């Protein structure tokens, strides 16, 4: 004896003139197993309808929206700060660069002090940029690592030159510090370009 399928039992629950309903009803009257299954189906539906409607205990949308607005505002402030630091570094390079290119106009020690100050400004900008965690692509990671390796190598050379000391090495120190400032400026540019590309 073939029993009714679940589709046929569901069709018997809903009013209407589905094809084959009369045959299914006749089978249901003759088959206690299908009648029990239909009764279980009724009970399941009743239990599902009796379940309480799930609603959040509190509407958190306003809190989340305020947090998102605050985070976006913080990102805008950070971007403005980074832009201001990069602009200050560029202006410092433009102002000091003229003196650096004409050694007769300024003494080597003054030029060295100015280049070291510019390097410190760029270091501060880099610290701020590194404090923000962002997803980077492989090309950017490789460029940053390459620049940082070259800067570390220059730092070793600077340490050795400063240990030697002497007025004769002041010109060599100035050359190394200028190269370091150039690499630091390139590193800041890579970070700022990445921040623009990420869209933060």
Model confidence at 100, pLDDT cuts 50, 70, 90, reads: low
- Does the structure show a pLDDT above 60 at 167? no
158 in a domain, yes or no?
A: yes
pTM: 0.43
- Other Cβ atoms within 10 Å of 125 Cβ, number: 23
Task: Compute φ and ψ for 25, nearest 5 degrees.
Answer: -65, -40
- Nearest Cα neighbor of 118 from 162, 37, 182 is 182
- 69 and 11 fall within a common domain: no
8-state DSSP, 19: T
Average pLDDT, the chain: 77
What is the spatial distance between Cα 82 and Cα 60, in angstroms, rounded to a whole number?
Answer: 33
Relative orientation angle of helices 32-50 and 6-13, to the nearest 10 degrees: 60
Distance set, CA 191 to CA 78, 96, 120, 122, 164 (Å): 13, 23, 17, 12, 34
* pLDDT higher at 71 or 55: 71
- Is the CB of residue 66 less than 8 Å from the CB of residue 41? no
What is the spatial distance between Cα 165 and Cα 61, in angstroms, rounded to a whole number?
Answer: 64
Look at the chain and report how many structural domains it folds into. 2
- 124 and 36 fall within a common domain: no
- 30 and 98 fall within a common domain: no
Residue with tokens 């610290």: 127
What residue numbers bound the domain in which 10 lies? 6-50
The H or E element containing residue 149 is helix 138-164
Could you write out the three-class secondary structure of 98-120?
Answer: HHHHCCCCCCHHHHHHHHHHHHH
**pLDDT tens-digit readout, 63-74:** 888 888 998 888
Instruction: State the average pLDDT over residues 193-197.
Output: 59
How confident is the model at residue 104, as a pLDDT?
46
Instruction: State the average pLDDT over residues 175-189.
Output: 85
- Nearest Cα neighbor of 188 from 122, 98, 135 is 122
24 in a domain, yes or no?
A: yes
Q: Where are the alpha helices (DSSP H) in 31-137?
A: 32-50, 61-101, 108-130
- φ/ψ region of 49 (left if φ > 0, alpha if ψ in -120 to 50, else beta) reads alpha
- 123 and 166 fall within a common domain: yes
55 in a domain, yes or no?
A: no
């Amino acid at each position: 004896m073939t029993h009714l399928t679940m589709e046929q039992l569901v069709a018997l629950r809903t009013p209407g003139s589905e094809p084959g309903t009369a045959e299914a009803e006749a089978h249901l009257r003759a088959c206690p197993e299908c009648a029990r299954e239909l009764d279980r189906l009724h009970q399941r539906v009743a239990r599902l309808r009796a379940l309480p409607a799930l609603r959040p205990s509190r509407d958190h949308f306003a809190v989340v929206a305020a947090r998102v607005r605050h985070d976006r505002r913080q990102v805008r402030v950070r971007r403005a700060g980074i832009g201001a630091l990069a602009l200050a570094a560029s202006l410092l390079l433009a102002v000091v660069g003229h003196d650096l290119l004409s050694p007769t106009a300024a003494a080597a020690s003054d030029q060295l002090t100015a280049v070291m100050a510019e390097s410190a400004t760029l270091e501060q900008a880099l610290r701020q940029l590194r404090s923000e965690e962002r997803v980077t692509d492989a090309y950017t990671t490789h460029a940053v690592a390459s620049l940082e390796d070259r800067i570390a190598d220059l730092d070793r050379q600077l340490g050795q030159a400063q240990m030697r000391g002497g007025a004769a090495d002041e010109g060599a120190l100035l050359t190394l510090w200028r190269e370091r400032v150039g690499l630091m400026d390139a590193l800041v540019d890579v970070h700022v370009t990445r921040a623009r590309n990420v869209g933060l």
